[in-house]
Structure formats: C-alpha cells, structure tokens
Amino acid sequence: MRDTALPIDDRGFSYGDGLFETILVRDGSPLLWKYHMARLQSGIERLALPRLDLAAFDSLPAQCGPGLKVLKLIVTRGSGGRGYRPPELAEPRWRWTVSAFQPSAERWFGGVNVRCCELRLGLQPRLAGIKHLARLENVLARQEWGDDAIAEGLLLDSEGSLVEATAMNLVWRRQGRLETPLLDRCGVRGTLLSALDDTLALHWLRAGLEALLEADAVWLINSVQGVWPVRRLDDSAGNCLKQWSLEANDAFRQAAHRQLGYPLNFGD
C-alpha cells in the first residue's frame, strides 16, 4: 500500500525487522530494477522472512508518474511474535512512497569534500550487504557533521578497514586498478556497485585508510545520486588528509552514469 500508516506492533518499527530499497525511476521506468529485486530477495532470505512474490512490485514504477522520482519500497516481517521471536506464520507487510528527485550536477562534475567519521561500524556478517531497517549506525554517523560543504562521511569498521560512506559505496583507483571494500562483515552492497561489478573489473579487498591515500582517484556512488568524485578527504577533526584533481573525462563515472541514464560528461 502507498503512503499508508503502520500499526504500532509492526516489527519493522519495533526492531528494524525488515528491509528497504530506494529506487531511481525516470518517467515511470525504474533503473537497476533487477539489482534492487535481487538485493531485496537476498535480504528476505538472510532475515528468514516468509517468501514473498516480488512480481507484485513490478507495477509500482509505472505509478510513480513523469519525471525523476525515488520510489522507496519497505518490506517488514509484519506484526506479532513474542518479543524478538518472530511469529510462526509471519505475514510480511509492505509499503511504498514516491518523492521527486533532483540529482546534483555540481557534485557529479565538481566533486565533493568528504570526512572520516569517528563512529566505527560493528562487525555483523549476518547483516552485511543487505539493506535492512536497523540503520542507527548510519544515523549516528550522519549526525557527526552539519557543515553542508562536507557531502559525505567515510565509515571504517571496528577493526579499521574501509567499508563505505554513510549512504554511498566507495571505489578508488590505485595503480590502475579499481578497488572497493569487501562488504562481507558490515556495510550495504549498493545496486550500482553490483551493476558495475558485472561490467568492470572491480577488485574487492580489505584495506585501511592508507589505500585511499595511495589512490589517484576516489569516488562515492549510489543508484540514486550517481557518482560523486572525491576532491578532498578530511579526518574527523577537519584536517585535510589528501586532495585529488578531478578528471574531465572520467571513465568510471561514465560507466556508472550509463547505468542510470545520467550525463556522462559535463555539458552533456
């Protein structure tokens, strides 16, 4: 159901016991739909939610109307159970909302400033990769700064390995190789990242901050915003750790924006 209130006993609300997807929709056609549905399905299996016919969602994008929209789809385990224990026969509940969306061309082509968050993500392999509703770590991390000149915050895990930004994935180029952090212990596996993994040679690895300091280009990406090249990285106290020159003809951004129908180059 669209925009409908939730009963107080919904387990998504009580415990974060559910999943969501935020999907870019252009004139009623979704981008990366197959990847969003695959991640949702993976989340359903990981949380052991009852089977759900995802085909029921196929008709939603066309109902979003003209222009660029973000369709948010939320699936929860529904109501019931005794405390944390799910009910024997859970009936999943789903809701969707639509909002207008305007991406930032300034960030695509002018790049962004990023800081390191103090918060470290806890290691939780059972939840890693999926987009579940229990996202309080991201909320706390996003509260660490209010300065609009900082577009995003980098997150390391409790052992000091790079993971992601608060709402975007992280990719860098080092010695000609495209690298991205393993998302097997925490973090969300973005759909744009998965799509690029199918088309580019992405190297998944466990690496600390030093990998970024050795990189000659760094990008933040997601399936709604597209690609933000990183211009400058600060530590959590605001001291500059490194700056990068932006590349006018950025092949990585082009590959990613092709997936989303976004402009490949400035002025396109």
Using CB under 8 A, which of the segments 30-38, 81-89, 205-213, 257-265 binds a copy of itself? 81-89
CA distances from 56 to 52, 73, 192, 252, 267 (A): 9, 12, 23, 34, 39
Catalytic residue among 21, 69, 76, 131: 131
Site string for a copy of itself, 114-153 (x = CB under 8 A): -----xxxxxx-xx----xxxxxxxxxxxx----------
Judge contact between 96 and 38, C-beta under 8 A: no
Give the pairing type, strands 18-26 and 68-76.
antiparallel
**C-beta of 267: minimal distance to a copy of itself in Å?**
28
**C-beta of 239: minimal distance to a copy of itself in Å?**
22
In the residue annotation, 159 being an active-site residue is answered as no
16-55 residues near a copy of itself, rule: CB under 8 A:
16-17, 20, 47-48
Total residues contacting a copy of itself (rule CB under 8 A)?
49
Helix (H) or strand (E) holding 24: strand 18-26
What residues contact residue 25 under an 8 Å CB cut-off, 6+ apart? 31, 61, 64, 68, 69, 70, 71, 98
Cβ closest to a copy of itself, residue 137 vs residue 247: 137
User: What sign results for the dihedral spanned by CA atoms 137, 45, 199, 210?
Assistant: positive
| 160 near a copy of itself, rule: CB under 8 A | no
Site string for a copy of itself, 82-111 (x = CB under 8 A): -xxxx--------x-x--------------
In the residue annotation, 131 being an active-site residue is answered as yes
Cβ closest to a copy of itself, residue 20 vs residue 109: 20
Amino acid residing at 40: L
Amino acid residing at 257: H
Helix (H) or strand (E) holding 94: strand 93-100
Q: Which residues bind a copy of itself (CB under 8 A)?
A: 3-17, 20, 47-48, 74, 83-86, 95, 97, 119-124, 126-127, 132-143, 158, 166-167, 186
